[in-house]
Structure 1
Amino acid sequence: MNFIQSIILGVVEGLTEFLPISSTFHLIVTSRLLSLPSSDFIKLFEVVIQSGAIFALVFLYLKTLFQDKKLLMNVIYSFIPTGLVAFSLHNVIKTVFFENNL
């Protein structure tokens, strides 16, 4: 992966993080469109830029979350079904999106 490709992936992550559709999917599709190999480095890069976006949001809203207990509880409650579905479908998601040559 070269510098321009990494910038493109970063921009795609930044633009799609707030959309109600998966930014991970957009990164996978963009990687395929850029003909990037499905290597461990590319996967790690995608995880790192997604983690950066998540940490930025947590940092931005941390004060608000702890001041508004109802909002904090709603965020926690929203993670429960998401976590259960993700945990239940982990093998399917891993096979379809990360091990399959789309």
Structure 2
Amino acid sequence: MKLREIAHSRTGDKGNISNISLIAYKAEDYEIIKENVTSDKVKEWFKDIVKGEVIRYELPNIGALNFVMYDALGGGVTRTLSLDMHGKSLSSVLLDMEIEY
């Protein structure tokens, strides 16, 4: 199943760092997301975009994971030639990831 079936996401940026929050729709799906969406899997999913480290933070009280992706925006908003300078579409890209449910 695709992540979008059990979660939604938000994206932010600061310089050349992209930040994606992945939030479960239902509390019972948080553990499934936590088991299936690791830093390594996110790094591999974005291998053509993210050149740096991916760090995952767990927020169990709100059923969310937060991924901080370094060297992810082509040098940052003022330097990149990307059409999506802020990386806002990256949240939708993450929701396309297939996981086992």
**Higher relative CO (CA 8 A, sep ≥ 6), structure 1 or 2?**
2
Q: Which has the larger radius of gyration?
A: 1
Instruction: Pick the structure with more strand per residue.
Output: 2
In the superposition, the TM-score normalised over structure 2's length comes to 0.28
